[in-house]
A and B are shown apart, each in its own frame.
Chain A
Amino acid sequence: AQSVSQHNHHVILSEAASLELGCNYSYGGTVNLFWYVQYPGQHLQLLLKYFSGDPLVKGIKGFEAEFIKSKFSFNLRKPSVQWSDTAEYFCAVKGSSASKIIFGSGTRLSIRP
């Protein structure tokens, strides 16, 4: 069965700090991987996705993620965060032959101005 673990429940950073949010998944086959962002009071929006090819994926707003197959990881990174990045971030995995995406429990990111 698919599962996703996000180990950091709440991360607090100052503006301009670098960000890395951890995501590990469990699935015994080829996967599609996603990061979604949810700004306060809003719905989930796709930040970036990995289907195949270059394991370093660039998304919107300066975010990127690296798929490391040997570690079953898909960590999200941003070199310099802004106050507007305050949001909740969800990692998700879908087996390439599966019909549904499974989400992690989310990481709340708070940025101090």
Chain B
Amino acid sequence: DAGITQSPRHKVTETGTPVTLRCHQTENHRYMYWYRQDPGHGLRLIHYSYGVKDTDKGEVSDGYSVSRSKTEDFLLTLESATSSQTSVYFCAIGGDRANYGYTFGSGTRLTVV
């Protein structure tokens, strides 16, 4: 959807290096989320944000940190990438308006070698 973009779309990185993924929205949603998608596990919540500088952990937060310095941007950082973090990462917005689900970004395919 046009209101949410993720960058980069693809990235290959080496074990032990830090990596930052960006999610940008133009919809002014208060809530933003980072999920990872792996075969057999569906989508698992990594971190989410409920406002500028307000973030909380999801179910698989170890090895990840997030930052939200402005409403539009939600950054996900892998502090020291490991092969187990090879995955497809999706950002989502929504959950803060009545009768509204989530809108997902197009995803970032990350490979850690």
Contacts and interface: CB of A to CB of B under 8 A. Distances in A.
Given A43-B106, A105-B40, A100 B45 contact: yes
Nearest to B41: A105
A103 B95 contact: no
A12 interface: no
A67 interface: no
Contacts of A6: 42
Interface residues of B, number: 24
Contacts of A9: 40
Interface residues of A, number: 23
Interface string A39-67: 00011111001010000000000000000
B75 to A, nearest CB: 19
Contacts of A102: 45
Contacts of B106: 42-43
Contacts of B90: 43-44
A100 B42 contact: no
A104 interface: yes
Contacts of B103: 46
Interface of B: 31, 33, 35, 40-45, 48, 50, 58, 90, 95-96, 98-99, 101-107
Interface of A: 6, 9, 32, 34, 36, 42-46, 49, 51, 90, 92, 94, 99-106
